[in-house]
Amino acid sequence: MNDTIARSILVVSLVKVVVLLFLVLTAVAYLVWFERKVAAHIQGRWGPYRVGPHGLLQPLADGVKFLLKEDATPAGVDRFLYFSAPLLTMTLAISAIAMIPFGPASIHIFGIATPLVIANISVGLLAIFAITSVGVYGVALGGWSSNSKYSLLGGLRSSAQMISYELSLTLSVVGILLLAGTFNLSELIMRQDGYTWGHLPKWNLLNPTFPQILGFFCYFVAAIAETNRAPFDLAEAESELVAGYHTEYSSFKFAMFFLGEYASMITVACLASILFLGGWLSPFPQTPGLDWTRYLPAGVLAVAGVALIIHGVRYINVFGRIALPVLGVILGALSFLCSQPGVIDDIQGPFWFLAKVLFVLFVYVWVRWTLPRFRYDQLMRFGWKVLFPVALLNVILTSLAVVMRK
Amino acid sequence: MTPQLVIFLVLAAIAIAGAVNVILQRHPIHSAISLISVMIALAGLFLLLESEFIAVVQIIVYAGAIMVLFVFVIMLLNAGAEERTNMSRMARYAGVPLAIFLLIELAYQIGAAALSMTPQPLAEDVTRRLSMLLFQDFVFPFELTSILILIAILGALVLAQRGESVPAKGGPKTIT
């Protein structure tokens, strides 16, 4: 009996892993599309437009291109490390997402209730940090094994940067650990339940004991640096280093680095939402006056669906005139599903979680296309002389507040 | 064979093979990578003992911090493959017998110790108990260690700056 339970748990976990892997890879592909679109609109351009309506099939075309391009291996590379570096980057970045809880409710697979998280372990937060800290090797070894000056310099810069900013990243969440007293991500979210003065959510950003505003600032900046994105993308500064650590990588090995970068972006955004923005908790208290907020998921989907249908029927080509309204109808059906009594409560958690993650991702993209790149010495000075002391100050102030509260 | 035993054997084999490989590899980077695989296999062994906290800390501290610095320094100095020499006289007549003696003694002591082969269930909330030990019962040695590390950092800085003038305000304009 015990054995069958263990086996069915294993099967359920495997199903969850496969589903999440599929979802994450799709999300990564469309995150690239999202970034290109947002960047284009910030700069007054249209962005991808040719492949599918509004460039919606662009990720597919990119993927096919990555697969079909010639996979060149330069002379004099350290073959074992050269091949394992991109693999390491991608695997680690994707496996970190296994620890992320997407909602409070359980789903049913083969009649077994299972939570919306693959690995709900007691030290989830630390495990994610452990995975990101090992992620440095992908960049460092990729740069070293390519046997190229630009790659080596990019890899060195990047590892120095990641080591420096990892400290601030880890320190910035210590305040939250002091307030919550747990490493488990689901429990960290549960501790943020409740509303100050009846309306203001008790998210860690607005924690009544000590608001983690400094912590959020440090986390946000350090996370940008940790994922090697502009304005901290010194690792691949095109104007100086060609492309940095992945200069010598082509075809699918480059795509693996690329996937890894965007997957770790998603992890970091999920963590920001869990740690500071209350994860899956709704920003509205469930009072009778605000009961209508339960219909927000359905409402958002319905508005998006109607907008797609109205816009789609006047699209410039036939494919778009068919595809966009069909997409709109699907969204409308989902909206109807989300307003049904059995589903409406289950959908709240994932909806708010995804909304917050999407918001954080949007800010990441916004920052990338707004701020110019830092100079290397500025980067180091900022990391060690501003960010690190501020994170330390946040720890001291939070511990004082926690002690005073007791 | 229980699944736990299979996982243990695999992890132990990786750890031992990695440790041997550290010595056998001629390039420092390859040695460092082997050492990292040892660290990660050890973390897996800790996980098998149901001490998640120690496992994760093992990865963060050893694989994620110390070994990154090792790799970084090797890359920065661009260290090449090391040369093989025949053993020196000292190593042959003193080192090898001592190493064999140490191995025999370790094997004997481990064999003599009455170790239980079934994993003991751990107490609840290991992380909290560990921090209680570190920050309450042994807080003085703990703080003493941190001062020791601080002194070591200062010493390293002094050694690194010997013979060089202090860089001008704004920092040196070098790229690394």
pLDDT of residue B122: 65
Question: Does a structural domain hold residue B149?
Answer: no
Question: How far is the CA of B90 from the CAs of A369, B86, B93, B95, B98, in angstroms?
Answer: 63, 11, 6, 7, 11
Torsion sign over Cα B72, B77, B78, B79: negative
* Residues on chain A touching B65 (C-beta within 8 angstroms): 133, 163
Residue A215 is predicted with a pLDDT of 87
Subunit contact B170:A155, Cβ cutoff 8 A: no
Tens of pLDDT, residue by residue over B23-82, are 888 888 888 889 999 999 999 888 887 778 888 888 888 888 888 888 888 887 777 777
B40 to chain A, minimum CA–CA distance in Å? 10
* Chain A contact for B3 (CB, 8 A cutoff): no
Chain B hits for A399, Cβ within 8 Å: none
| CB-neighbour burial class of residue B111 (10 A; exposed 0-12, middle 13-18, buried 19+) | exposed
- A338: amino acid identity, one letter: C
Tell me the angle at which helices A251-276 and A213-226 cross, rounded to the nearest 10 degrees: 170
| Chain centroid offset of residue B145 CA | 18
A81 in contact with B at a CB cutoff of 8 Å?
yes
Classify residue B129: in a domain, yes or no.
no
Helices and strands per DSSP (H, E), number in chain A:
16, 4
Residue B175 falls inside a structural domain:
no
Model's pTM, two decimal places?
0.83
According to DSSP, residue A208 is labeled: S
Calculate mean pLDDT across residues A94-98.
87
Q: Do A160 and B33 touch (CB under 8 A)?
A: no
Nearest to A331 by CA among A342, A321, A323: A323
CA distance B116 to chain A (A): 24
Task: Supply the CATH number for residue B39's domain.
Answer: 1.20.120.1200
Give the C-alpha separation, A159 to B68, whole Å: 8
The total of structural domains in chain B comes to 1
**Closest Cα to residue B44, out of B67, B11, B20, B6?**
B11
Q: pLDDT for A311-324, tens place per residue?
A: 887 887 888 788 88
Residue at B48 is within a domain: yes
Q: Kindly state the percentage of chain B with pLDDT values over 70.
A: 85
pLDDT of residue A107: 67
In a domain, B68, yes or no: yes
- A284 interfaces chain B, CB cutoff of 8 Å: no
For the packed helices A136-145 and A149-172, what is the interaxial angle rounded to 10 degrees? 170
Instruction: Answer yes or no: is B29 within a domain.
Output: yes
- Is B33 in CB contact (< 8 Å) with chain A? yes
Kindly state the tokens that stand for A387: 């960010």
Q: pLDDT-derived band of residue B118, with 50, 70 and 90 as boundaries?
A: low
| Residue B102 resides in a domain | no
**Does residue A181 surpass a pLDDT of 70?**
yes
Residue whose C-alpha is closest to residue A157's, from A260, A254, A244, A257: A244
Per-residue confidence (pLDDT) for residue A193, from 0 to 100: 79
pLDDT tens track for A193-227: 777 777 777 787 777 777 888 888 889 988 888 88
Q: In B25-176, which ranges are continuous DSSP H helix?
A: 28-48, 52-58, 67-77, 89-90, 96-112, 126-132, 139-161
Write out the H or E segment, with its range, that includes residue A114.
strand A112-115
What is the Cα–Cα distance from A189 to A204, expressed in whole angstroms? 9
A164 → chain B, closest CA residue: B65
Query: Could you tell me which chain B residue has the CA closest to the CA of A240?
Result: B175
Question: Is position B25 within any domain?
Answer: yes
Report chain B residues whose CB lies below 8 A from the CB of A136: 64, 68
Beta strand segments in A168-270, E: 195-196, 200-201
Residue from A123, A132, A139 to probe the interface with B (highest B Cβ count within 10 Å):
A123
> Which residues of chain B does A126 touch, with a Cβ-Cβ cutoff of 8 Å?
53, 56-57, 60
Q: Could you list the residue range(s) of the whole structural domain that residue B30 is in?
A: 1-81
- What does pLDDT average to over chain A? 82
Assembly ipTM: 0.77
The answer on pLDDT for A267 being more than 80 is yes
Task: Return the structure tokens found at A237.
Answer: 């500064």
Write the single-letter amino acid at A155: G
HEC profile for A348-377? HHHHHHHHHHHHHHHHHHHHHCCCCCCCHH
pLDDT of residue A233: 74
Which of A78, A121, A129 lies closest to B52 in CB terms? A121
| Residue B62: C-alpha distances to residues A93, A131, A284, A398 (Å) | 19, 12, 44, 28
Residue of A133, A119, A135 whose CA lies nearest to A184: A119
d(CA B162, CA A342): 72
For position A1, what pLDDT does the model report?
47
Say if residues A222 and A364 touch (Cβ distance below 8 Å).
no
Chain B contact for A308 (CB, 8 A cutoff): no
Sequence-separated (6 or more) residues with CB below 8 Å from residue A276: A176, A203, A204, A205, A212, A215, A216, A219
Whole-number pLDDT of residue A105: 65
SS3 content of chain A, % helix, strand, coil (to 5): 70, 5, 25
* Partner B, chain A 137-156, Cβ-Cβ below 8 Å: 137, 140-141, 143-144, 152-153, 155-156
